[in-house]
A and B are shown apart, each in its own frame.
Chain A
Amino acid sequence: MSGYLRIRNLSVALRDSGARLLRSVSLEVAAGEVRGLVGESGAGKSMIGKAVLGILPRSVEVVEGEIWLGDVDLLRLPPAERRKRVGANAALIPQDPLTALNPSRRIGGQVTDRLVDILGWKRAKAEARALELLAEVHIPDPARVMRSYPHELSGGMRQRILIASAFAAEPRLIIADEPTTALDVTVQKQILRLIAAMQARHGTTLLFVTHDLGVVSKVCQSLSVLYAGLMVEDTTVADFFRAPAHPYSAALLAATPKYTDPWASLMPVSEAVIDAVRAEVDAAETEWRDAR
């Protein structure tokens, strides 16, 4: 089976020091699949999404690898073509809905701009589509919301709008970058359900970046575990929760608090496990250096 998004040996490094943030990561997401990408803060999980979408910070660069979206390697495209390709076929659901909408532009324009400017739709058609999508993400009175500015809407509403905007062009791939982390706990569940429902209805390939294994167990079919830029496990959700293959994965799973007994179940990842996984990272690094 060949996935819609295929990442091969992707390494991303800091421009000045050459230190790698992603260490030869390979990853495949089948068409229509929901794959979780988990790891601690700084493990590089967001970096993968940024590399795919072409929004890596200026301080880092891709030093090797391939990113196949469908049948093209994005890294081999000229920049303008790559932008168009990503804009037409992929979309991002960002982490913080409060900062992800332009405060000086109306919602309508921010949902329809890609359809009109990048995909060449007629404005009327794009607006009709935006209204339809806003209704689909349960926004009351979509016509009024289209004319509103971001500051007039709540965080939950804004995240719904960003979800609608991501799905508007019917992209084959959506990358959700911790889409519930910045929200109230009460809203988190609704948004999670909404993303899952939208994904199922549209059959979109979804890469779900999160540090929350609970979220993974609810919405994903497969998952990849990252530690310090190294992929330590790549498995199905069913297998992962039954028997994680890597000791770090097992420790991560054990560290997840259980609602039945939250205090007793708080288990930090042991030092032995950390040492083991660090050794793996070092080995990968030495191997990579030697190969160059």
Chain B
Amino acid sequence: MGKKKHPLTRSEVERDVDTEIEFHFERSINELIADGMSAADARRTAEERFGNVGRYSQKLKQTADVGRKQRAALVILESVFTDARQALRGLAREKLTAVTIIVTLALGIGANTTMFGIVDRLLLRPPPGITEPGAVKRLYVQRAFLDRTITSASVTYPDLLDFKAAGNFRDVAGYWNSSLPYRSDAAPRSIDVVAVTSRFFAVMGARPFIGRLFSTEADTDETVAVLDHGFWEREFGGDERVLGRSIHLGQKSYTIVGVASPGFRGVELRRTDVWLPALPAGDDIMNTPVWRTSRGFYWLRMVARLSPGVGSDVAAAEATTLHRLGRAEDTRYDPEATILVEHMLAARGPNGSAVARVSQWVLGVSIAVLLVACANVANLLLARMIRRRRELAVRLALGVSRSRLISFLTMESMALAATGGLVGLGFAFLFSERIAQVVLPSLVGTTIDQRAIWFAITVSLFAGIFAGLVPTIQGSNPNLMASVKSGTGDAATGDSRIRSALGVVQVCLSVLLLFGAGLFLKSLNQVNSIELGIDSENIMVASYDRSGFDFEDSQWDQFNNRAIETVAALPSVTSAVGVLGYPFGPSYGKGIEIPGLDSIPRGQDGGPYVSWVGPHYFKTVGTEIILGRDFDETDTAGQPLVVVVGEHMAQMLWPNESALGKCIGFSDEDGACMQVVGIARDTKRQNLTQANPSLLYYVPASQHDDPPHTVMARFAGDPTAATVAIRRAMSEVGPNQAAVNVRYMKDIISPQAQSWTLGATMLTAYGILALIVAAIGLYSLIAYSVDQRRKELGIRTALGATTPKLVWLVLRESLKIVLTGTVVGGGIAMLASPAMRDLLYQVSPRDPMVLATVAGILLSISFGAAVLPARKAAGVDPNEALRLEQ
């Protein structure tokens, strides 16, 4: 009995049914005729017995076709499983290759997923809990300040009220992230509060988790509070009975009326604990109710929800008109200011941070890393393919269709990519939090969520296809047969060309990444070597959180004086001094007059700026006195008034003579002469990278009525230990239950270097990653090629080629790839790098030193990758080599 495979097409199915019925009738009629019937009678009888032939045959055909489809699906599924199983089995046999490929892909995919998670949070995704986020906008004021135009996110409260008249805003609101001392059963501490005007939640379209949100038309003094969902869970264990209870923040007690929906943080990515109404909370935060009416208190950030169908430009024009109208009477500040209506995410607004832009670069870079990884995997797969050429050719010869072979080969690269993706996701989980901390220190929670996981899956899929493309096309090439017949020969040259090209691509991308990393490293190095003028390594800055206390200034002075003494007495502290106005902290401009000068010059950043300081200030903060002396205990109220000026100020005021002994007077103190007793090295005022020195001078606090608010302490040893010791000491002598803020000077400054730190760290990490991957790729390329050329090398040896000559032969191959890649990569880098000019610091985007270093690194890699294969080449035994493949 012969076999026939199952019908594959519908027409085959139908033919089978027809044949079966025909056969039936033939036998049936024949038998009836044999029984003595006439042919016609026999046919009629047979038809009667069968029933309606048309109907039955149709029914049979339908049933059979359904069966065929089911079988076909099963066959495909089965072949997929077979392929996958074979792929895995094949890979298990070559563990080293498989592991290399998986790790390579995992690094690439992990790097991408991590950066995607961060960029997604920073720039792409609207913050949670906002309905119709497209209509929510952030407003900015563009106004003249000194001789510049600044774009500020802050307005005054009266300005905000002006915008309420805007028809193009459905709602407008102000908010301010701050902190207030929180008094619960535990020790008092500062928690993160946001003061919001009444329409804030309406602008956001936010819904409460329980209770209600603030939603009155106008602001009221009602002391109510809405809790953040996380805070509610942490502090109140998610107890719904919390509604109606009160919470003590600062000076006031607020009634809890609701809990915000989980994750809701408004438009800021910062952590929030409690939402408070602006009127009662603002008084505490600003320490004065003046902000309610003054057009000088710029503090509120603005958000607005556009009316349906209104564009940002139209809304901005209307808001600008209202703003100028509102400020018609008060012309102290720029009355010609313009209002901008921008994206609600700060990172995408006009003041978008350098960190956000660097993050985008790093995401781009991580994609480049993935490309390097893919090129490498393609190379490894191709090498494997060539090793398996015979097996594949046999398959093709045995009649395995090309599409089947492609499916098999694709399955292989997909299996690898899937595994790589899984491991990569693991990497992302491990590292993303640490990296996210650098980019978004205030971010809460992980950045690897569902979206990031989908991203990882998509990337893995593409990586699988991309890496498998070239090997698959090559491997399923019908010309394989020819190559098998002719030994390893000719098809190999085509392959090696492709493999070399992939190698060049890898080198080229590595050059780009390393060049970028070099630029950022050099920038960071420049930033780190900026002369701050103070010894930030050894200074702590500490103060009491005054908000919410009702003490007289004189009482605060007593607290502060006690704090300075106590801190100075700590074993880990060498000296402590009270200050009002300090570097990277608040600074104060104050009117001065100088005998013999008609006008006081201003610095690029305004000023001159004064600091009121205690004795031995300069020694404590580590600012060098160039000429004259530091303040000491003798500079008290009864003694002659003295002043120390910064070197730039001294230069500006008295260009051609010594400043020592000259007079400076405060305008509001009748210009009483303060004699210059010292000239101090300039310090940065607020900006790490400020280009021009500020005009700075210092007076002893004890000779004036402006008492210090802050303690600066010089410490030795561990900063964390010092922080704890200072906080405890100040708590003991301060007001009962006051929160003490202690900050390490370095931590105050370092966020300013964040974008360079991020760029340098990430680009270097990814650059090295790409380099390692490329080096592995190069090595496998050369090693493989040496293996392929054993015969040729053997002949050369037999003909008397010397070892150096053989080594050079191999080395030349490696060098060719690296040089081509470096030249192309370097060229692209030169063309592209000016785009990141303003992310760098005092480094040319075409810095030749960086380029030279990168080229050097790659050249040494090219040697390194070729060393082992070259030694192998030199050691080829001609006899053995010639016996091969005969």
Q: Do A and B come from one complex?
A: no
Interface residues, chain A, with chain B CB atoms under 8 Å away: none
